[in-house]
């Protein structure tokens, strides 16, 4: 389900704030990001299948060392399939170093109920607005 425009603006504002306030954390997290590529998944699955085949052959000819070798090959294939890709996407830089100065849809303060009712996003927006008003 796509985000509404208000949710997208809120998310972008939170990203800018994170980049400004905790750039060391952002740098640590973005180094670990990345998804496995289709190539690594395919090669890993093929390696795991080859390892299963070697385990079965090792059991058939009663060679425990061959079975252990097959298990190691199978494990290596699975780990290779799950590793992050080399071309992992980098975190995008914030568009602007300053918060947006665009007008709010709620001039003069929040029109949301402060009794804790409403959706989760409404409560999060209200907390965000309160925190920004204090700063």
- Whether 77 is covered by a domain: the verdict is yes
Q: Is the pLDDT of residue 77 over 70?
A: yes
Q: How far apart are CA 121 and CA 129, in angstroms?
A: 12
Encode pLDDT of 42-61 as tens digits. 999 999 999 999 999 999 99
- Whether 6 is covered by a domain: the verdict is no
Name the residue among 47, 50, 51 with its Cα closest to residue 81. 47
Q: Is the pLDDT of residue 97 over 70?
A: no
- Whether 38 is covered by a domain: the verdict is no
Q: Is the pLDDT of residue 20 over 70?
A: yes
The domain of 54 spans 47-84
Q: Which residues contact 12 (CB under 8 A, 6 or more apart)?
A: 94, 95, 100
Whole-model pTM: value is: 0.42
| Sole residue written with tokens 């995008």 | 92
- Whether 17 is covered by a domain: the verdict is no
- Whether 102 is covered by a domain: the verdict is no
- Whether 30 is covered by a domain: the verdict is no
pLDDT, greater one: 45 or 116: 45
- Whether 116 is covered by a domain: the verdict is no
Contact between 30 and 93 under an 8 Å Cβ cutoff? The reply is no
Instruction: Give me the number of domains the chain comprises.
Output: 1
CA distances from 115 to 7, 15, 16, 28, 121 (A): 21, 27, 29, 38, 14
Contact between 80 and 43 under an 8 Å Cβ cutoff? The reply is yes
- Whether 100 is covered by a domain: the verdict is no
């Amino acid at each position: 389900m796509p985000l509404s425009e208000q949710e997208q603006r809120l998310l972008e504002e939170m990203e800018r704030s994170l980049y400004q306030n905790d750039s060391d954390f952002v740098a640590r997290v973005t180094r670990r990001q990345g998804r496995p590529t289709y190539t690594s998944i395919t090669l890993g699955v093929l390696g795991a299948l080859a390892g299963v085949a070697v385990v079965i052959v090792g059991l058939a000819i009663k060679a425990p060392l061959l079975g252990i070798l097959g298990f190691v090959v199978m494990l290596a294939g699975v780990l290779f399939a799950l590793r992050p890709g080399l071309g992992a996407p980098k975190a995008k830089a914030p568009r602007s170093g300053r918060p947006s100065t665009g007008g709010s849809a709620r001039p003069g303060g929040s029109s949301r109920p402060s009794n804790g009712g409403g959706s989760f996003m409404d409560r999060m927006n209200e907390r965000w607005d309160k925190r920004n008003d204090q700063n």
